[in-house]
Amino acid sequence: MKQWFAVDVTVTPHAQEAVESALGVMGATGTAADGLRRKPDEPLIVTGFFLEPVSLEDVEDAIGDEFEIHGIERDEVHSIEFRTVEEEDWLATWKKHWQPTEVGRFIIAPPWAPVRGTAEKFVIKIEPSMAFGTGTHETTQLCLEALGDIITPGMSVIDVGTGTGVLAIAAAKLGCKHIRAFDTDAPSVSIAEQNAEANGVIGAINFFEGTIDENTHPADLIIANLTLDVIKPMLGLLVQKADIWLLLSGILVDQRDEIEAELKKFEIGDLKFKTKGEWIAVLVGT
């Protein structure tokens, strides 16, 4: 039976998303959080599942990098422990903790959930081994909500940093036909393609390993759910290639002034900000 190598990080709730992100950057196949705590301020366990063993030093370094980005103190991690997990136990953990999530016009669900779409709600199903970008992260939720508001059928879309392809799939579910999804991580591109096929929209999306450049043909809508340090160097290109809308997320609340100042350099005044938790998304009318 297949084994997974699990890393259990006991952490304050405030730092949960940063730890999940750190484990993802390290290559975790999936994460699960023990959300059954009794009080909102009690520590919880975030578990990352890996195909190969990882070292304590690597975990500490990855968490430290994410904490620096998010302005989180190191003492919000209480402990880091390692164990092996049988595949059936790993799947049981997912089934216990991952339930369908309604976000705007979408329901993000695992394959085993008996969820059906309606005229108002589109279902996107993601396999448990494809954890990142499942719609549970607040930045992804902000983008999904915005897509439901602004997309009209037939629009062309570019998704920069597609991850598991959830946002590109959402665009396809809303009737977009000319969708290009980019990611610099080859395994992410493969996962995104599998997700698109599982959701019946593979024909509407072209996936590319890499990112956009000057030769990329513009699109009506460009989505960039990244981080501010990645967005800033390419912001001019994103603005240039977006014919109608530019949707940016992965930006912390306390970085709002910084991204607003950067956008004003391009003489853009039509900015709409939305907040969820400690994250913001900005919708730019170009």
Residues 84 and 113 in one domain: no
Each residue's pLDDT tens digit, 48-90: 888 899 999 999 999 999 899 888 999 999 999 999 987 666 6
Residue 278's pLDDT band, with cuts at 50, 70 and 90, is confident
The answer to whether the CB of 32 falls within 8 A of the CB of 98 is yes
Domain boundary among the residues 69, 96, 123 is at 96
Residue 13's pLDDT band, with cuts at 50, 70 and 90, is confident
**Rounded Cα gap, residues 216 and 197, in angstroms:** 24
Please tell me what DSSP assigns to residue 9. E
Q: In CATH, what number is assigned to the domain containing residue 206?
A: 3.40.50.150
The more confidently predicted of residues 261 and 95 is: 261
Give the three-class secondary structure for 12. coil
Residue 133's pLDDT band, with cuts at 50, 70 and 90, is low
Residues 77 and 169 in one domain: no
Sheet holding 106-109, edge to edge: 101-103, 106-109, 122-125
Residues 176 and 257 in one domain: yes
Please report the pLDDT score of residue 131 as a whole number: 43
Q: Which domain holds residue 48?
A: 3-96
DSSP-assigned beta bridge partners for residue 242 = 219
Helix or strand (DSSP H, E) at 226: none
Q: In CATH, what number is assigned to the domain containing residue 71?
A: 3.30.70.260
**Rounded Cα gap, residues 19 and 48, in angstroms:** 9
Residues 151 and 225 in one domain: yes
Number of domains in the chain: 2
Please report the pLDDT score of residue 89 as a whole number: 65
Question: Percent of the chain having pLDDT more than 70?
Answer: 90
Residues 34 and 151 in one domain: no
Residues 87 and 212 in one domain: no
Give the 3-state DSSP-derived string for 137-155, with helices as H, strands as E and coil as C.
Answer: CHHHHHHHHHHHHHCCCCC
Domain boundary among the residues 63, 96, 129 is at 96
The lowest-confidence range among 122-136, 171-185, 260-274 is 122-136
Residues 152 and 30 in one domain: no
The answer to whether the CB of 242 falls within 8 A of the CB of 219 is yes
Please report the pLDDT score of residue 19 as a whole number: 92
Alpha carbon 131 to chain centroid, angstroms: 9
Residues 261 and 174 in one domain: yes
pTM of the model: 0.77
Please tell me what DSSP assigns to residue 246. E
Domain boundary among the residues 65, 80, 96 is at 96
Each residue's pLDDT tens digit, 221-242: 999 998 898 999 999 999 999 9
